[in-house]
Structure formats: C-alpha cells, structure tokens
Copies of this chain bind each other. A is one copy, B any other.
Amino acid sequence: VDVGDRDALIELMEPLHAADIADLLEQIDSPDRRRLIALYGVEFDGDILSELDESIREEVIGVLNPDVLADAVRDLESDDVVDLLEDLEEPQQQAIIGALDDADQMVVRQALSYPEDSAGRLMQREVVAVPEHWSVGEAIDFMRGKEDLPEQFYHVILVDPRHRPTGYVTLGKIMSAPRAQALQDMTEDSFRTIPVDQDEEDVAYAFNQYHLISTPVVDDEGRLAGVITIDDAMIVLDEEHEEDMLRMAGVSEEASLSDNVLETMRGRATWLFVNLVTAIFASLVIDLFSDTIDQMVALAVLMPIVASMGGNAGTQTMAVAVRAIATRDLTGQNARRIIRRELVVGALNGALFGLAMALVAAFWFGVPMLAVVIGSAMLMTQVAAAFGGIVIPLLLDRLKIDPALASGPFVTTVTDVVGFFAFLGLASWVLL
C-alpha cells in the first residue's frame, strides 16, 4: 500500500476471503484504511462490507466511491443488504437503497419495516416453495426451470393454496427418492414455523435447541414470508453471547475494539459511575464502624479479604445463573431447588475458607477472637453471595431486565455491604 502498487495489492488480496479482508481493514488504522480502499478500488466486494464491524463500516461506506458502493451492494442477498442498512445513518441508507434495482428496493424497504432484532429482519426472502400435493418429480422440474434459485437453500417448503407452509422436505431426501413419490410423505419432523415478529434471540434459541438448519418465517396470517437459515442464527447466537459476556463485565454491548476513544470511554463510564455509587454506599457501612477500626487497625487490613471473597463467590454464582437463564435451564419450576443448592454450596465453601482465613489471621495478628470474627464473617458473606448471586439475576429476569446487564453491580454491592457489616459488626461486638 505504501508504494501505491495497485496490481500487487489486488494480487495479494485475491486469495483472501471477504471476512479476512474485513479483519485486515479493521486492524489497520484509519489513514491506512483510506489509502487501501482507494487503491483497491472497483475490486471492492459487497461481502467485505457485510463482514465489517459496524463502526468501521460507516467509515468505509463514507470513503467508497458511490459507483463502487452501488456495485458492491447489488450483488448481496436481500438479508445481507438489510443487515448492512440497519446500522447506518439515514442519508447513507438512502444512498444504498437508491443503488438497488426496483424489485430489490421494495424487498429491502419491507424488511426494514419489521421491528429491529425480529425474525423479519433476519430472514431472506428468496425461498423455494411448492404446492403440498406435488410429487418429487414435479418439484425437481420446477427447480430446474427456475432461473434464480437462492444461493443457499436446504429444504423445499410445502405450502397450502393460501401459501401457508405445512411442512418441508430436505434436498437430500428429494435427491434419493423416486420421481413419483409424494412430497407430503417425506416431510421432516423438525418442521416448525417462526412468526415474522419473533425476537431474534428466540429464533437463535430455537435453532440451537432443535438443531434446525433452516426454518420458514410466516406473517400474521400464517403465510410464508421468508426463510431463516442456520448461518444467520449462528451469527445472532454469537452476538448474544458477546452481549452477555460484555454486559456482565459492565461494558456496553455495542463495544468493539474499533470504536474511538470517546465512544469507548462513554460505554464504560456508565457502569463505573454505578459502581462508584455502590462503592460509596459500602464505604458508608465502614464509616459506621470507624471507631472500631480506630481501636484495631488489623480490621482495616483484613476487611478487603472478606469483601473480595464474597464478591468472587457472588460473581461465580451469578455467571452460572445468568448462563442458565439464557439457556432456559433455570426456570420458575426449579428455581427453589437451585437456590437451596447454591446456599448449601455457599455455606460449605464459607466454612472451608472461613476456617482457612481464621488460621491465617490467628498466626498473622495473634488475636484468637479476631480469627473467630473473620471466620464467621466469611461464612456469612459466602452464604449472602450465593443467595444474591442467584436471586438477583432471577429477579431481574422476572422484571424483564436482562440479567446479564445489571446483575454485576447489584451482586457486588450485596456482598460488599454484607461483608463489611458482618466483619466490622462482629468485631465491634466481640472484640471491644
């Protein structure tokens, strides 16, 4: 790129997959990116745009020559175009829609009319559907005669006269069946339809739970509107996981390494602020016992251990609970049993580490009662951590708040407050 050798660049990039080129564009910095794109010119492919991270994508679209952009977009399937448009600002959206031909424009505009993160946004409109009473031979002839079959399809969908899907047959079965066989006798048990306004998270769950490969999407009246394939579901699943992981760590879910400094800072500051408030709250608890600490400074030395162990145990339980809620393994029916089990685990670990810490404290400071105090405080904090770690995510879930989003600060506040209160309270009661 530095010497501006266009042919060498194109030769170098030629064997790369669009996803790898996108990764490359993400990893270099902004001026390099501009120069590379300018140099790469008309070779720029729509697939690269699809693969790019959102924050970079906007920049790249801004830099691309409008003709190149129009060419690039025209080759994409309708669901990829929709995915591309979703995150763009209005003027860029219009520019891209304008580049499409009329039929595609209509399709894309309709897709954008579905709610964000719904099955309607995810699906591709290109489907292969045949009347339910057809035979294998009729279906094969139909496909042979059709000019533009979708790039990816795995099932032939059977529809009734009102275009409502009633079943599907895998291409593999059609391949191996005699021409005269009725399609209706070969349908798969796994068949299920997804309403067009279903949340994409539920769609991904269904694909994962029932091992679906592709599944028809239906509109309000049950008519076939499109098809969602497993690769789309896999992307959603991947995004959901990323969201959960980042949210649990208190990072806004849109975070990416390609964001600029200010965006990154804003994404983190919100939770740091919440944490500041909760940390001050925990400090108020300590302040209650400042006289006690004044008389025995060893308490100040040891109290972070109690809080830190509690915070850790709470985070462990919380991660398991958030994950189990996401995979629907933790529900109202078994909640009580799971809470009981977590409390037992918390009590056992609390007893174990309480004892260990009591021994450490006894040797360190040589005050037997201090050992008793820290041991008991540890036990109480571990039980509280187990309780908070599972009850808080469950509660948030019932309140329709994503448990991953808000559990962290609440759980550590509970463990900090209980930890400081138990340790310093016991100390002022027993030791002074």
- Near B by CB (< 8 A), chain A positions 168-210 give 170-176, 178, 207-210
CA distance A151 to B255 in the complex (A): 40
Tell me if A231 and B245 are in contact (CB < 8 A). no
On chain B, the residues within 8 Å of A140 by CB distance are 175
Q: How many copies does the complex hold?
A: 2
Known A234-B234, A246-B323, A323-B242; judge A297-B305 contact (CB<8 A): no
Whether, in the assembled complex, A301 has its beta carbon less than 8 Å from a beta carbon of chain B, the answer is yes
For A144, A151, A245, A273, which residue has the most chain B Cβ atoms within 10 angstroms?
A: A245
Which A residues, 25 to 40, have Cβ-Cβ distances below 8 Å to chain B? 26-29
Contact B330 A257, beta carbon cutoff 8 Å: yes
- Interface flags for A220-257 (1: CB within 8 Å of B; 0: not) read 00000000001101110110011011101111000111
Interface 0/1 of A354-390, CB less than 8 Å to B: 0011001000000000000000000000000000000
Please pick, from B150, B268, B345, the residue contacting A316 in the complex, using a CB distance under 8 A: B268
Complex Cα gap A420–B305 (Å) = 13
A275 lies within 8 A of B309 (CB): yes
Q: Is A410 an interface residue (CB 8 A)?
A: no
A127-181 CB contacts (< 8 Å) to partner B = 140, 143-144, 146, 149-154, 170-176, 178
From residue 292 to 351 of chain A, which have CB atoms closer than 8 A to chain B?
Answer: 293-294, 297-305, 307-309, 312-313, 315-316, 318-320, 322-324, 328-331, 333-334, 337-338, 341, 344-345, 348-349
Q: Which residues of B contact A103 (CB under 8 A)?
A: none
CA distance A170 to B150 in the complex (A): 11
A68 at the B interface (CB under 8 A): no
Chain A's interface: helix, strand, loop or mixed, by majority? helix
Bound-state CA distance A175–B140 (Å) is 7
Cβ-based interface call for A10 (8 A): no
Judging by beta carbons under 8 Å apart, are B268 and A319 in contact? Answer: no
A316–B271 touching, CB < 8 Å = yes
In-complex Cβ contact of A334 among B27, B143, B286 (8 A): B27
Q: Does A23 contact B (CB under 8 A)?
A: yes
Contact, CB under 8 Å: B144 / A172: no
Using A233-B234, A272-B313, A283-B305 as known contacts, list a sample of 20 further A-B pairs with CB atoms less than 8 Å apart, ordered by residue number in A: A27-B331, A149-B173, A153-B172, A154-B171, A230-B230, A237-B238, A238-B241, A245-B245, A246-B320, A249-B319, A251-B320, A257-B329, A257-B334, A265-B349, A268-B316, A268-B349, A271-B312, A275-B312, A290-B301, A294-B294
Query: Shortest 6 CB-CB distances between A and B: which pairs?
Result: A249-B319, A300-B300, A171-B171, A241-B241, A279-B308, A279-B305
Q: Which residues of A contact B (CB under 8 A)?
A: 17, 19-20, 23, 26-29, 53, 140, 143-144, 146, 149-154, 170-176, 178, 207-211, 213, 230-231, 233-235, 237-238, 241-242, 244-246, 248-251, 255-257, 261, 264-265, 268-269, 271-273, 275-276, 279-280, 282-283, 286-287, 290, 293-294, 297-305, 307-309, 312-313, 315-316, 318-320, 322-324, 328-331, 333-334, 337-338, 341, 344-345, 348-349, 352-353, 356-357, 360, 412, 416, 420
Residue contacts A-B, CB under 8 angstroms, 25 given: A19-B211, A23-B328, A140-B175, A150-B172, A171-B175, A213-B230, A234-B237, A241-B241, A245-B248, A245-B319, A246-B320, A249-B320, A257-B334, A261-B341, A261-B344, A265-B348, A268-B349, A271-B316, A276-B357, A279-B309, A282-B304, A282-B308, A283-B304, A290-B300, A303-B304
